[in-house]
Every structure is written in structure tokens, then in C-alpha cells.
Amino acid sequence: MKTRINFYQKSLRVRRDPVPLQGMLTLWIGALLIVAITWAFYAYKEHANNLNLQQSEVQLKKAKAQLQIAKQQLAEKQNKTLLVNELKTLRQEIQHKQQFFNYLEKSSAQSITDYADVMKDLAQYHEPNIWLTEIKFVGQKVILQGQTLQSKFLPIWFNNLKQSPFFADKEFSVLELSTLDGISEFNVATDLRNEEVKP
């Protein structure tokens, strides 16, 4: 036999909040932390790129000062052959550094992983008798253009490059070589895609 009546109906009961205040606060704090970490990372990358730009500007100024000194010495000397070669080398260095400076200026907010790997390997396996005048990334290829006084150093340089981490197991697909006034100009391209390691 029923002795009590329940007037506390289902519609009057307290409903559980599906999104409590504590959960919302935790979610917002987590989102703000992710935004702050991402912003800090990009600010760090921007700062590092600015430092690279400043170093490039200093190197460019030094190279221009050396070029001016070489021009003055060239005007004073009777035997100008050695100074002409030094002048050409300095001009090539200035051109290369100017291209590198322009590239850093345009891509300060972009990823430069592939370019950095190529530059690291080119610096590590540098051949003194070869100087590069241009580096291009075209699609999935990297194109290297440069000059040398003796073309016999090109195969040595290619073999050394194949020992580097970036150029390992890659073939140079294009090779153009032309000689003008005793200076050999070359143009070589290779694939950027990772190739399968042969067993």
C-alpha cells in the first residue's frame, strides 16, 4: 500500500549541463596555449631569418669593400691578369651572396628546409676550383649553374656531392657544358624527390 506521493516530477528535476563551466574553461585555456606556442614558434623563426639577413648584409658589404680594393689595385698594376681573375671571383661571390640575400628576404616566412639542406651539403663538399652562380628550385628539381677554369674538376665535385646526405642516391639528369674565354660554364639538374634505396 502506497503511503507517499511524489510531487517531484521528471520535468522539475535538475538537468545535468552537457558542457560544464570547468570543461569550457579547460578547453579555452588549451586553445589559447596552442595559439601562444604556435605564435612563439613563428616569432622565433622570423627572428632567426632576420639574423640571417643581417649577416648576409654584413658579408655583402665586406665583399663590396674587397671589390673596391681589388679595382684600385688593378688600376695600379701593370700585370693585371691575376687581379682580373680575383675581380671575376669577387663579382661571382657578390652575385651569389646577393641572390642568397634576395631569397632570404622573399622567403622569411616560408619553410626553407630543402634549400638549407642543399646549401649545407654544397658548403661541406665545396670544390675550390668551382664556383656556383645560381641555384634554382624548379618543381621537383634543383638546378645548379656555375663556372670553373678547368672542367676536369667537375667529375670530382659530382662524386663528392654524391657522398652528401641530400645528394646521396640521386643522379644528375642534365649536364650542359660550354667554354668561353677559358672559363667553362656548366648547368646541372637533379631530382628533389626521395628515391628508393636499392638493396
The 10s digit of each residue's pLDDT in 104-114 is 776 654 444 46
What pTM did the predictor assign? 0.39
Residue in the structure block whose three cell numbers are 596552442 = 34
Query: Average pLDDT in the 127-148 region?
Result: 83
The yes-or-no verdict on residue 98 having pLDDT over 70 is: yes
The yes-or-no verdict on residue 9 having pLDDT over 70 is: no
Residues contacting residue 71 through CB under 8 Å, at least 6 positions apart: 87
What is the pLDDT, as a whole number, of residue 153?
85
Query: Average pLDDT in the 2-21 region?
Result: 67
Listed range (27-31, 62-66, 175-179) with the worst mean pLDDT: 175-179
Q: Which residue stretches of 3-107 are H helix? A: 21-76, 81-106
The yes-or-no verdict on residue 2 having pLDDT over 80 is: no
- What is the length of the chain? 199
Q: What is the percentage of the chain residues whose pLDDT exceeds 70?
A: 78
**Straight-line distance from the first to the last Cα atom of the chain, in angstroms, rounded to the nearest whole number:** 86
The C-alpha R_g of the chain, in whole angstroms, comes to: 31
